[in-house]
Amino acid sequence: MEAKYLGIIEDIKDKMANGLLTTGSKLPSVRQLAEQFSCSKNTVIRAYNELEKEHFIFSIPKSGYYVVNKLEQPTTSQYVVDFLSAGPDKTIMPYIEFQHCINQAIDIYKEELFSYSDQQGLYSLRVQITKYLQSLQVFTDPDRLFIVSGSQQALHLLVSMPFPNGKSNILIEQPTYFGFIESVHLHQATTFGIDLTMEGIDLERLEYIFRNNDIKFFYIVPRFQNPLGHSYTNAEKRKIVELAEKYDVYIVEDDFLGDLDPDSKSDPLFAYNPSGRIIYIKSFSKVFLPGLRVATVVLPTIMMNHFLRYKFSADFNSAVLSQGALDIYLKSGMFNSHIKTIKALYVGKMKALQEACESLLPSHTNFTKPVSGFYLSIVLPDNVSAKQTVHLLKNKNIFMDDASRMFLPEFKRDNLIRLSISQVDEQFIHHGIEELAQCISSLERKKPYPNTIHLL
C-alpha cells in the first residue's frame, strides 16, 4: 500500500513536470487509477489527498480532481536559467516521505526530541550514519562520529580550535569553497593557498608548504570540488596523506558530494589513514535536505574531547527533531534509493551542460569537465571580466556566480565563473550557454586583447 500510493504521486508529478498534465486538466477518476495501478480505491484517494495537501491538485465535489500544477514549465518570457543556486534539485526532494519520518520520529522518540540531548548527536543516528559511511569507504565506529549543525559548523569550529600538532596556520586549495574562506577571515587565521587546476595540485609545492609553514591542517574537498568540480585520483590522495603524516599536518576532508561519485573504486583520503590524521566531514545538505542542518564529522580520538567543548559552547547540540527523522529515513532504506535517483539525475545534467559548453562556447574559452557533482567552472578569456559577464547575463534572467570571492586576495582572479547544475532546469541549459557564448563574444569585441588563456 505504502509503495503504491507513493508510486501514484510520483507518476502524477512526473506527468506535471513533463507537461503531460497542465493546469486545469482533469485527473483520471479514482476507479480508473485503481485499475491502472492494480490497487484499492483507498490507495488512490490517499495519493490524491496528499497531492491536494501539497496544493498540486484540487478537488471539486461530485466532479473530480484537477491540476493546479506547481511544476508546470514557465513560458519563454518567464525563463529563469538558474546556474547559481547550490542547493539540491527541488523537484526531487522527498518531502512526503520525509514528513512520514518526522511523524514517526515524534512517535518513537517522544519528548527526547524536544529536550536537550546528547551533545555528540543521537546515538541511533550515529549508528545509521556509520553504516552508510561504509558505502563511501569510510570505516569507523559511532563513538568517533559527531553530529553537527551542517558541515559549515564543523569547519567553523575546526578553524578556531587548537590542534594536537600545536601548529597555527591553515592551507587551502585555490580557489575553494567561499564559506570556508569566510570562516578563516572571521577568525583572522593565517592562511596559505595552493593552486588547484583540473590537473590537481603541485605535490612538490605541497611538500614545501607542509615543511615550512607551520600548517595546522590542509582543508581539502576531494571530489567534485567547489567551484571547479575537480576530483583527485587515489594515487594523489594517498600521496597527500603520506606527506601529511611526514610533516605532522592534519587534513580536514570535506566530502560534501562523495555520494554522487559514479566511480565505486574512488576512495576518500580517510581510507588511507582511518585512525589519526584525517578529519572526515560529510554533509547531508547537497544530497538531501539542507534545511535539516545535519552533517557528521569523524574525528581522531585525540581530538574528541576538545571538539565536544567547542561544539557545546556553540549550540549544546544540533536540532534533535532533524536527527530523529533522518535516523528513521536512513533505517528505512529510503535514503539509499534517493541517492540512486539523484546520482543519475546529476550525471545527466552535467553531461548536458558539458555538451552545450563544447558546442556553443568560443573555442578559446576553457571549462572544467567533472563527471558529476554540482559545479563546473568556465575560464573566460583574459580580457573578459567575470563580474561583467555575470551582471550582463543577470539582466537576461540567467544566473551564474562570479568566482572571484572563492580566492584569497593574493590568488584573486577575475576570469572564472562557476555554474551549478543542481537547480537549473535541464531544458534551459542550452539556452543559458548560448547566451553566455554571445556575451563573451560581444565583450571580447569591445576589448580586444592578446590571446593569453589560463588553462585549467
Ligand X SMILES: Cc1ncc(COP(=O)(O)O)c(C=O)c1O
DSSP three-state, residue 227: coil
Q: Give the residue, chosen from 7, 64, 142, 179, that forms a contact with ligand X under the rule CB under 6 A.
A: 179
549543525: which residue's cell? 149
**Residues 283 to 312: which contact ligand X by CB under 6 A?**
283, 285, 290, 295
What does the alpha-carbon distance between residue 22 and residue 180 come to, in Å, rounded to a whole number? 43
CB of 407 to ligand X, least distance (A): 15
DSSP single-letter state for residue 250: E
Exactly one of 43, 69, 130, 151 binds ligand X (CB under 6 A); which one?
A: 151
- For the bound state, the minimum distance from the C-beta of residue 124 to ligand X, rounded and expressed in Å, comes to 21
- Here the cell at position 235 is 594515487
What is the closest distance, in whole angstroms, from the C-beta atom of residue 255 to ligand X in the complex? Answer: 9
Using CB under 6 A, which of 33, 67, 221, 298 touches ligand X? 221
Q: Could you give the string, one character per residue 61-100, with x where binding to ligand X holds by CB under 6 A and - elsewhere? A: -------------------------x--------------
Task: Tell me the Cα Rg of the chain.
Answer: 24
Smallest gap from residue 383 Cβ to ligand X (A): 30
**Residue closer to ligand X, measured from CB, 365 or 377:** 377
- The pair phi, psi for residue 281, each rounded to 5°, is -120, 130
Sequence-distant (6+) residues with CB within 8 A of 278 are 241, 244, 250, 251, 253, 269, 270, 272, 300
Q: Is 280 in the site for ligand X (CB under 6 A)?
A: no
In the complex, the smallest distance separating the C-beta of residue 217 from ligand X, rounded to whole angstroms, is 15
For ligand X, the closer of residues 89 and 254 by Cβ is 254
Q: Is residue 323 a contact point for ligand X (CB under 6 A)?
A: no
Residue 224 sits in the site that holds ligand X (CB under 6 A): no
Measured from the CB of residue 165, what is the shortest distance to ligand X in angstroms?
23
Does residue 254 belong to the site contacting ligand X (CB under 6 A)? Answer: yes
Q: Is the Cβ of residue 56 or residue 374 nearer to ligand X in the bound state? A: 374
For residues 206 and 195, what is the distance between their CA atoms, to the nearest angstrom? 10
Q: What share of the chain is helix, strand, coil (3-state, %, to 5)?
A: 50, 15, 35
Which candidate, 194, 199, 300, places its Cα nearest to that of 245?
300
Report the greatest alpha carbon distance in the chain: 79
Q: Does 256 bind ligand X (CB under 6 A)?
A: yes
Q: Which stretch binds ligand X (CB under 6 A): 144-152, 258-266, 298-306, 387-395?
A: 144-152
Own/partner long-range contacts of 93-97 (Cβ < 8 Å, ≥24 apart): 93/289, 94/334, 94/338, 95/54, 96/6, 96/9, 96/50, 96/54, 97/6, 97/329, 97/334
Three-state DSSP state, 105: helix
Crossing angle between the packed helical segments 234-246 and 203-212, to the nearest 10 degrees: 20
Query: Smaller CB distance to ligand X: residue 120 or 365?
Result: 120
- Selected range binding ligand X among 27-35, 201-209, 282-290, 300-308, rule: CB under 6 A: 282-290
By the rule CB under 6 A, 226 interacts with ligand X: yes
- For ligand X, which residue of 88, 94, 121, 150 counts as binding (CB under 6 A)? 150
Residues forming the site for ligand X (CB under 6 A): 86, 150-152, 177, 179, 221, 226, 254, 256, 283, 285, 290, 295
